[in-house]
């Protein structure tokens, strides 16, 4: 093997090792966990913001509670479940899809899908043929039209 190939091969191996090392999962610090959980919970006062972004006193006390639960050693799921028990699925900025609040997000998609299906069915429906009328009905209609003419 030439020196050039050896250098190229060793460069590829070093780059692959660095990428693998950078992608290796590391345990999140307590502050990272508090920030991540706080970003997932809705502020009950502001309603449009997470407790991470909200300046309200309620959000501050909720962040402190999250930090306390993290310090106690509870998992992220246990902390989220505690808030869901207290406030319902509404407290999650991204509610689970199979909950009643999550299904509300699917309703507009279902309405659009139903409308598209209905439009597709209407365009594929055969055109209605004009109805045939009997001779008696035709005579009645002609007499009514003749009576209307001056």
**CATH number, domain with residue 40:** 1.10.8.640
**39 within domain boundaries:** yes
Question: Residue 123's pLDDT band (boundaries 50, 70, 90)?
Answer: confident
pLDDT in tens, 129-139: 777 888 898 89
Q: How far apart, in whole angstroms, are the C-alpha atoms of residue 88 and residue 103?
A: 14
Residue 99 above 90 pLDDT? no
pLDDT in tens, 52-93: 988 999 999 999 999 999 999 999 999 999 999 998 888 888
Q: Do residues 30 and 70 make contact, with C-beta atoms less than 8 angstroms apart?
A: yes
Residue 24 above 80 pLDDT? no
State the alpha helices, DSSP H only, in the chain.
Answer: 3-23, 30-40, 57-72, 76-87, 100-124, 135-148
What Cα–Cα distance (Å) separates residue 97 from each residue in 47, 90, 109?
Answer: 19, 12, 13
* Residue 135 tokens, joined: 């001779």
Mean pLDDT score, 136-148:
86
CA angle 41, 47, 48 (to 5 degrees): 90
**2 within domain boundaries:** no
Domains of the chain: total: 1
Name the residue range of residue 69's domain. 28-91
* Of 28 and 119, more confident: 119
């Amino acid at each position: 093997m030439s020196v050039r190939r050896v250098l190229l091969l060793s460069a590829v191996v070093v780059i692959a090792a660095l990428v693998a090392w950078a992608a290796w999962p590391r345990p999140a610090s307590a502050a990272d966990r508090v920030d991540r959980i706080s970003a997932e919970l809705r502020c009950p006062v502001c309603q449009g913001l997470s407790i991470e972004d909200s300046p309200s006193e309620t959000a501050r006390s909720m962040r402190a509670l999250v930090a306390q639960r993290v310090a106690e050693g509870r998992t992220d799921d246990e902390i989220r479940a505690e808030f869901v028990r207290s406030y319902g699925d509404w407290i999650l900025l991204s509610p689970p899809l199979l909950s009643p609040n999550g299904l509300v997000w699917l309703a507009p998609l279902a309405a659009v899908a139903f409308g598209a299906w209905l439009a597709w069915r209407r365009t594929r429906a055969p055109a209605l043929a004009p109805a045939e009328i009997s001779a008696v009905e035709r005579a009645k209609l002609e007499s009514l039209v003749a009576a209307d003419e001056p």
